Structure 1
Amino acid sequence: MDKKLGLILLLLVGADALLFTVISDVEEVVSFALDVYNFFDGPKQTTSSVNYDKIVKTISERIEMSTEKITFKVELEAHLTELRTASYAIQQLLKDMEHIAKTNNETKRQIYKTRFHQDFERKKSDIYTIKSLLTFTTDVSGISNTLLSLIVEGFDCGMSSIEHFQTYYMTLVSNAVALDMLNEKLSDNDLHDDALKEWQAAAATLFHKFQQEKDYCKSKFMDLVKSDFDQIEHGKELFSNNQQRYSYTTNDVLFLTGSYCARSLKKYDPVLKKTIDNDLIYAIFQSEELNVALDKELFKKLVFKTKFDDCIKDTGDVINMFDLLGYDLVVSVMFPEGQAEIFQDKDSSSKSITTSKYTTIVYLRVQQHRVNGTLTAKDFDVDFYVAPVPAEEPFKLLGLEIWKLGVIGGSVLVFFIAVVVLCICYCRRRRRRRRHSSPSPSFILY
């Protein structure tokens, strides 16, 4: 966030974020206005082409959105005063519209219509400001730019934030068109066709300006993601950041720790890699060329040919195997259970398989036809890390480590056995000598 601009941007997220849909074309902007114009045709029309419950519900929802409770709140010093003034004017007029729609008393209905018409005429300039407010050139800290450009810069090109703001602002435009259509309906001279064309042209211009800003942000994509990647060191935080800021891409984050075998194609822009201590972090942004099909059974056979204990040899073997199938290996990681945190987009292009010992994940691209040159192991960065087994504190007795006591005890035992063997040998030798030295028995003949 650029402090020089004095920009304070607070994105309110919650359950409503899951239901968020970007307003992206002129038809969506004017559809509510046309519903309103067709509905408010004298007393409540139960036969109207517009469902009564639907229109009342929509008006109530738009009142809530105009108070900025659902999407977000934006303040840019005094430069957004006009936006907030218009927002509050729209909120009040929507409430007047709601009163007209809900009342069953014709006298009250006429009073509400008169009040609405008078209020609209007083606030007309604020309402019409919405048409071109964001395209005004504003000077902030000596920098001249449109208000929209300054807001996008304040969001630091976070695409989700920009699209939330686009929906918020274009909803205001949609409300303003509806209010203008109702005012024309209640006027003596109904010029709603001319008014609608002006609003459609204004909405088209605003969408064009939003798209220009988005295209500008996308042109800075690699600079922005590399900056984020250098600063964020936690896998889950990095993945969440990427999902919010670069919602127009498919991206994964692989956080490897403990033991792993990994290889990645050098100088391949959609893949970012860094090592922190012995932890390896990948951020992989899917491009069209990474989105390839691969037969699962064939992939399984290839994986079984690799060995986790020889990453460098595996690199060459796997490259050659995929080369024969017409694929280039872009990234391959192999790790035991519990040795990685894998955060993947629902549209991830990765191919993965878990065997009895390891999980293997690969990213492939189809080889370019008619291009000479084959990838070799030298084209890859190779990482292979096995965490050392921590040495346990040796058990001691009487100040001696247990292995030393074992050596001493073993030596004493061997000495004791040797003495016993010598004693046995000595005793047997003495017995034999005694037998040889005794007199021979006499034989007497009678």
Structure 2
Amino acid sequence: MSNIALLRLTILCSLLSFTLLLAPRLLSHAAASEEDQENPQPLVQDDEHVAALSLSNSGMFCDRSAFRSDVCFMRGDVRTHSASNSILLVSQNFTAAETIKPYTRKWETGVMDTIAELRLRTVDPDDARAHTCDVRHDVPAVVFSTGGYTGNVYHDFNDGLIPLFITSHQFDRKVVFIVLDHHPWWLARYGKVLSRLSHHPPIDFAGDQRTHCFSEVIVGLRIHGELAVDPARMKNNATIADFRQVLDDAYGPRVKRITTSARSRRPKLVIVQRNGSRAIENEGAVASMAAAAGFRVEVLRPGASTALARIHRAMSTCDAMVGVHGAAMAHILFMRPGTAFVQIVPVGTDWPAAAYYGDPATKMGLRYEAYRILPRESSLLGEYREEDEVLRDPDSVNAKGWETTKKVYLDGQRVTLDLVRFRRSLVRVRQYLISRWTFNS
């Protein structure tokens, strides 16, 4: 073989190897699209301190390497200017300008189009005289949006509160939160959680026209995964358990006043019931069966107006929780490690059920069991023939896109549980709980 032919073969092999290495990453990017599609890990496993440390005494830097969110850092004489949707860095040494939408689903162009865009720019000291400080803060600021999917409890925690914890934890509550796309109801609902993350009241960026001045500002939030905190990227190796402690600190005192009796040997089971799509049609029979199987049963119907303190009280004092896959399963964040979570998985929802709640539950230290319903337990059997691909091959239906999945499997399905079959799951859970109590006694 000639030297030229050998060289060509070597180059071809190198290109093939590079393509094989890159293919999984390209596929993971292609798979992510809509609300419940996969959110791959960032391309760069960045540490939240790296970019900030790259700045000198004054500067601006934006890290856009992560798949889920952009984060920008500003240090020096930093001032807000809400009238122009800007944050200004006073500097005569350099000129810079960036734009950013501080929301943690940057790959979803549709929802990102609804998020307010901030302009980050430098101004000369002479121009800065028009922006004199009305309020000067001696702590850093973190800027984020409560727009997008806010209002859906899963997204409230996954896209907002957990990333806010991740980003602000390094400051030990010595931080000011600046909120874009501000909703008064959001602050009323989650104000107690924010008070455990910051000693200072949050600022409504658009509603507060005063010029707020800081020496350091972070715009955007880090996100580590589905309901996840990666200790390797956190100060003091904080975990999701530390975030759960924040929730307990926010709502725990009320729970302690109410929960005074010793634990019964009949474990407490909370059934989280949905209204409409993915509801348990035979809820009463399921509750009676669970009681006969040795549980104390409570049915919880969380809604937008249900106080979080009430939900926290139910979930933090239960030994097991049962619910059909959906946003309300995010309340596993309130459960104690060692308790059990049974997720009822409707037809066609295996992947999101595992990715969004099953895998996170295991990482939270919960005993997780997936109850995958059979076609005969689904209302879809009354709408489609048994041989239809909707029931026979859900993967092929889901491959048609998010809108199809949402219409067919999420919005269009209810469940009627096989009591004999489902009882086996509950018996396993009860045996686990009793054995755990016995071992720990």
Indicate the TM-score class for this superposition, using the shorter chain for normalisation.
under 0.3
TM-score normalized by structure 1?
0.25
Larger of the two Rg values belongs to structure: 1
